[in-house]
Structure 1
Amino acid sequence: MIHRTDRRPAGRRPLRGAHRPAVVLSLLLVLGLLAGCGSGNSGVAGVPTLTGEAGAGVDGVRAPSDATGGTLRLVTGEVDSLDPQRSYVPGVWNLMRLYVRTLVTYSSEPGRTDELVPDLATDLGTTPDGGRTWTWTLKDGVRFENGQPITSRDVKYGIERSFASDVVVGGPSYVVDLLDDPANPYAGPYQDETPDRLGLGSIATPDDRTITFTLTTPALDFPFVMALPSSSPVPVGEQAAGAYGADPVSSGPYTVTSVDPRAGIRLERNPEWDPATDEVRTALPDAVVVRTGMSGLARDQALLAGSADIDVSGSGVQQTITTGRLDDEQVAARVDDVTTGSVRLLALPTTVAPMDNADCRAAVAAVVDRAAVQESLGGATSAVRTARLWPRALDGGPEQTDPRPDLDAAREALARCGRPDGFSTVFAVPDATGAVALADTVSGALAEVGITADVRRLDPTTYYATDVGNPESVTANGYGIVLATWTADFPTPASFLVPLVDGRSIRTVGNTNYAHLGVPEINALVDTARAAAEPAAADEAWQQVVGAVEETGVYVPLATNKVQLLSGQRLRNGVVMQPYGGYDVATAGVG
């Protein structure tokens, strides 16, 4: 799928599973302090008790229960927006499952959470022409919190809000890319100048229950776009515009009743939600509270102390949890080890010499020691080594490999590229502890064959948006090696690969084709893969894309990130929601 990434915020893909130092002693001290708190009248639970076994929520259910009532207590870092058309944080998308419904959504069935199921719609959508036209029919009886029926026009209106880039800023732009007419761009519902204010012409709503999309290009993974909160309904005429996130209108089982910087967010039951129309959400708790703006350590402490049930940030615990004594075993039994879809890689921009030479790129790839990289990232609990441009969590990919460094092959490649004594280049990295440690490890290995990589630390807040996300800046500054962490917005090969390898996806601002790869033959392979209708044929076609890209040597995959999710001691029905890297809040209960 081709993205207009210039519309995206700098922080659109939080780095899940970033470096977590193995400070076991620190964790044990925290655990000891919490044990001394006791439960008493303090409102803080004592040391957690054993409630299951390690990994129980990955492919199963942690502490199953159908008990209703109580308050589910969530913790997280910063929340970018409660407006479904403005948020671009996976953890917030998970939270939105409580008050936002879409035509289709992710399954809550254990082990299948990366699959789509119908939500507001009766099915997963139909396309008569290979993904160019898509139609959905809404279920009967779905209503907003105010009792107003949810119609196809409300779905259209919510999607149209993403086009109002003057007031609705920060969310995904997939619908803009796929539904807008470049010759006559739509400005959004707040500036709608279409005849009779009929809105975006590529979305038809012939009746209250039918909605049809006509895409600018075929996209068989379009249903995944419809599963994003940005594709959720908003009541037609809702004029909150940029302030909508302060009081979003619920279509789900809970309503947002208060938002306070200190007290956090509170959600209570939506009496207009009909469980008969919703096979995904169980809505067991009476209320949900979210403490926001908490550091990773503070979130871990809350989970250990029993004052929180789920950390929805998706970043996992900040310390490595090990066993070795009773307290450790009790905590470890509440951990779910999750391999994410987030891949660390080196990009070797073809616009920067000598990376414009395939043999020079091959020399870099041959030197990389992935075992050392893994250690720099915190070891096997934080990263899984990989050399394939395909997330380990995504099915259907090529066989994973784990090559060892080959200095002789690197020197031979240097000779072929005319640099037998090596060369110098600039290594761009975000100025964060884990990234710098990884870069130092790689640059040390490169030095063994005469390649001098000047590690250039760049501001993490502008790194992806304007530093390595601006091809002109990369070329002008001579960034011959770029460290990137790439996470697709949904679990499909197209979502992961196209922004990285399709030459037509290169943008001036917010570019994600970090290697500046623009090979017509690869673009053609992408088109073939996107047009493949059968899953097996599609997987084979995307593997061909990966093979062609790997032959160019422009990307050097290093590791897939892992996170350790720690469940609160009261959590019931803990199911790992793979796309969001956390427990599914839509089915969670408390006991």
Structure 2
Amino acid sequence: MAQQNLEGLADRLPTWARGWSRRRIFGSAAAVLLVVVLAVSCLGGAGGRADVPVLAEGPDAGVEGVRSPSEASGGTLRVVAPTIDSLDPQRSYLPGVWNLMRLYARTLVTYASEQGSTGELVPDLATDLGTVSEDGLTWTFTLREGVRFETGQPITSRDVKYGIERSFASDVIVGGPTYVVDLLDDPANPYPGPYSTEEDDPDLTAVETPDDRTIVFRLRSPQPDFPYVMALPSSSPVPADADTRGEYGRDPVSSGPYAVTSVDPETGIRLDRNPQWDPATDGVRTALPDTVVVRTGLSGLERDQALLAGSADIDVSGTGVQTATTARMPENDALLARVDDVTTGAVRVLALPTDVAPMDNPSCRSAVAAAVDRSAVQAALGGAANVVRSSQLWPRDLAGGPKHRDADPDPDLARAALEECGQPEGFSTVLAVADVPSSLAAAEAVAAQLGEVGIDVEVRPLDPVTFYATEVGNPDNVRQNGYGLVLATRTADLPTPGSFLVPMVDGRSVRTVGNPNYARLADPAIDALVDQARGQGVEGWRAVAEAVLETSAYVPLAETRIQLLAGQRLRNGLVMRPYAGYDVATAGVR
């Protein structure tokens, strides 16, 4: 009887959750019971009625608008999170933590807190989005008047420069993004960061501070995405006299509406109002709660349980609810009304290294591209609830991209391509994949598809910890092991086409450690298109994406999809696309 009930659940799944395997539904059952025990107390037992007030305005209310708008201040915003890598703005590389940092780390520019515009930049510490010179090499920003650190010390251009300088100290400040190093450093005379005391150390002359309110950046090459780099927390100001180097994350100095007042492994992080913050200087943050408390180190299921039980308002992980919670949703309209469904910009791609035989032959690569069945890959990854099929090297939320075509596999075209590449009977190759269940499932699905046209694929699981750094991130290692296929996930740090495409497709981005150009695509024609796109905008980047697909060096497969669950009392639930979560800077609880 229990098995029949579970099988019946598949027929009751909503459209976005259909396509799940029976194994996944069965496997979720035990975990669902854990969630339901906590959920019943806050959702009621009949018709989804709640025993306590539950704010729920319907599915996707936080995507299409703002969930439960309110201007009331006060109360405590309760946040749950996985392990935090660092509270030091220059040392974090987790988008969920970047979201949290909006509370205490302001930047020259930041993302808008307005529905439909959360991927767009607005001025923050600066008066505008910056002024660029005609040659694209010089960017100038002017700071607002009246902005202060929590200490009462005015924030100057030198504080912004010092915060940026910290990222150059690669022996001390580790873990965060290093875009500023790539854009501003002199390779012939590299700047070592602010901690080195050698007499012949160079200064960071690429950043000038002619007065307290003016900061000028001189780039090595034009970069239209530069303002987005300035929106990263790693570009936030740090007062030099308060810098405790590697320990700075224990007590970062606030430039925002809240200050970190305690950090404890057991109780989490507490942020209280920063009395030096002036709302007149901040058009982004509403800072409604009196206090923000963050419980850290929680598993996905524990975070879901907290949201369901009413003990948490926001999960900042950016990963959405777990399989067990998703399986519970179709049975309860009250839960569905609190869900916002979003794609994350994380695109799974099949890379075909162009320097590994026979993938050095374009026709052999075309055979692989023609044989791939995205529907089967989607099913292996858990169905439509987890991923959306993707046929373009372009995240769906980025405007202006090529149209996604849901093409079926074409075995006949694949066999014709094998003839052209001199392998009419097929060939053997190795598929490198991170040794995690979801990736392995997708890899096995791809191997089965290619086997149908005579391409024999050995799926080789690799250590996920070193996968991107040295396993597939080292071109020599890829060649030596004969990895003709690499299953990878590409997520851009910045919500721009260039940030997504350039590391993967520009031949000049290939490096020996952490190489992001998994296919080792080094095509002068595509590199030229990249250079043109920097000055053309979206149309130019669309041409780049289309040209890369023609090479079959990359085969896009699917984009990750998540369901965000709003806490029972969350107000102003606005989905921030860059962080795949609710905006903590404008959230309220009253």
TM (norm. structure 1) is: 0.92
The residue identity in structure 1 corresponding to 2:353 is P
* Corresponding residue to 2:218 among 214, 219, 244: 214
- Equivalent residue, structure 2, for 1:122: 127
8 Å contact kept, 1:131–1:222: no
* Corresponding residue to 2:195 among 168, 183, 190: 190
The residue identity in structure 2 corresponding to 1:570 is R
In the TM superposition, 1:323-342 aligns within 5 A as 324-325=330-331, 328-342=332-346
Q: Is 2:488 the counterpart of 1:491?
A: no
8 Å contact kept, 2:55–2:570: no
- Equivalent residue, structure 2, for 1:422: 426
Counterparts of 1:27 and 1:62, CA distance in 2: 28
Instruction: Quote the offset at 1:421 in angstroms.
Output: 1.0
- Equivalent residue, structure 2, for 1:94: 99
- Equivalent residue, structure 2, for 1:140: 145
Instruction: Quote the offset at 1:47 in angstroms.
Output: 7.6
Counterparts of 1:331 and 1:146, CA distance in 2: 43
- Equivalent residue, structure 1, for 2:373: 369
Counterparts of 1:364 and 1:383, CA distance in 2: 21
Deviations 1:28-70 (A, max 9, x none): 523431155579xxxxx96873521110001310011111111
Return 128-137 or 570-579, whichever deviates more: 128-137
CA distance 1:260–1:373, shift in 2 (3 Å): same
Deviations 1:135-171 (A, max 9, x none): 0000011000000000000000000000000100111
Counterparts of 1:435 and 1:27, CA distance in 2: 22
Deviations 1:448-498 (A, max 9, x none): 111111111111111111111111111111111100110000111110000
Unaligned runs of 5+ in 2: 1-19, 44-49
Find the residue that maps to 2:132 and give its secondary structure.
coil
The residue identity in structure 1 corresponding to 2:162 is Y
Q: Is 2:253 the counterpart of 1:254?
A: no
- Equivalent residue, structure 2, for 1:478: 482
* Corresponding residue to 2:523 among 519, 540, 548: 519
8 Å contact kept, 2:119–2:577: yes
Counterparts of 2:202 and 2:427, CA distance in 1: 60
The residue identity in structure 2 corresponding to 1:541 is G
Find the residue that maps to 1:474 and give its secondary structure.
helix
Instruction: Quote the offset at 1:548 in angstroms.
Output: 1.6
The residue identity in structure 1 corresponding to 2:568 is Q
- Equivalent residue, structure 1, for 2:276: 272
8 Å contact kept, 2:55–2:68: no
The residue identity in structure 2 corresponding to 1:565 is L
8 Å contact kept, 1:347–1:554: yes
- Equivalent residue, structure 1, for 2:580: 581
- Equivalent residue, structure 1, for 2:565: 566
Find the residue that maps to 2:241 and give its secondary structure.
coil
Find the residue that maps to 2:405 and give its secondary structure.
coil
* Corresponding residue to 1:152 among 137, 151, 157: 157
The residue identity in structure 2 corresponding to 1:374 is Q
- Equivalent residue, structure 1, for 2:167: 162
Instruction: Quote the offset at 1:539 in angstroms.
Output: 1.4
The residue identity in structure 2 corresponding to 1:377 is L
Unaligned runs of 5+ in 1: 1-18, 40-44, 533-537
Counterparts of 1:93 and 1:570, CA distance in 2: 23
8 Å contact kept, 1:577–1:584: yes
Find the residue that maps to 2:439 and give its secondary structure.
helix
CA distance 1:192–1:61, shift in 2 (3 Å): farther
- Equivalent residue, structure 2, for 1:81: 86
Alignment coverage as a number of residue pairs: 562
- Equivalent residue, structure 2, for 1:286: 290
Instruction: Quote the offset at 1:382 in angstroms.
Output: 1.2
8 Å contact kept, 1:382–1:562: yes
Counterparts of 1:48 and 1:264, CA distance in 2: 27
Q: Is 2:451 the counterpart of 1:447?
A: yes
The residue identity in structure 2 corresponding to 1:573 is N
Instruction: Quote the offset at 1:130 in angstroms.
Output: 4.0
Find the residue that maps to 2:228 and give its secondary structure.
helix
- Equivalent residue, structure 2, for 1:10: none
Return 48-57 or 61-70, whichever deviates more: 48-57
Counterparts of 2:505 and 2:74, CA distance in 1: 49
- Equivalent residue, structure 2, for 1:13: none
- Equivalent residue, structure 2, for 1:112: 117
8 Å contact kept, 1:203–1:213: yes
Counterparts of 1:104 and 1:59, CA distance in 2: 24
Counterparts of 1:232 and 1:540, CA distance in 2: 31
- Equivalent residue, structure 2, for 1:351: 355
Instruction: Quote the offset at 1:551 in angstroms.
Output: 1.3
8 Å contact kept, 1:74–1:309: yes
In the TM superposition, 1:287-326 aligns within 5 A as 287-319=291-323, 320-321=326-327, 324-325=330-331
Deviations 1:374-406 (A, max 9, x none): 111111121111111111111111111111001
- Equivalent residue, structure 1, for 2:3: none
Instruction: Quote the offset at 1:561 in angstroms.
Output: 1.0
Deviations 1:337-378 (A, max 9, x none): 001211011000011111111111111111111111111111
Counterparts of 1:373 and 1:32, CA distance in 2: 30
Counterparts of 1:318 and 1:429, CA distance in 2: 23
Counterparts of 1:47 and 1:552, CA distance in 2: 57
Find the residue that maps to 1:131 and give its secondary structure.
coil
8 Å contact kept, 1:48–1:306: no
8 Å contact kept, 2:381–2:387: yes
Counterparts of 1:206 and 1:228, CA distance in 2: 23
Q: Is 2:72 the counterpart of 1:67?
A: yes
CA distance 1:84–1:355, shift in 2 (3 Å): same
- Equivalent residue, structure 1, for 2:544: 545
8 Å contact kept, 1:31–1:47: no
Deviations 1:112-139 (A, max 9, x none): 1000000000000001224210000000
Work out the percentage of aligned pairs sharing the same amino acid.
Answer: 66
Q: Is 2:390 the counterpart of 1:386?
A: yes
Q: Is 2:205 the counterpart of 1:201?
A: yes
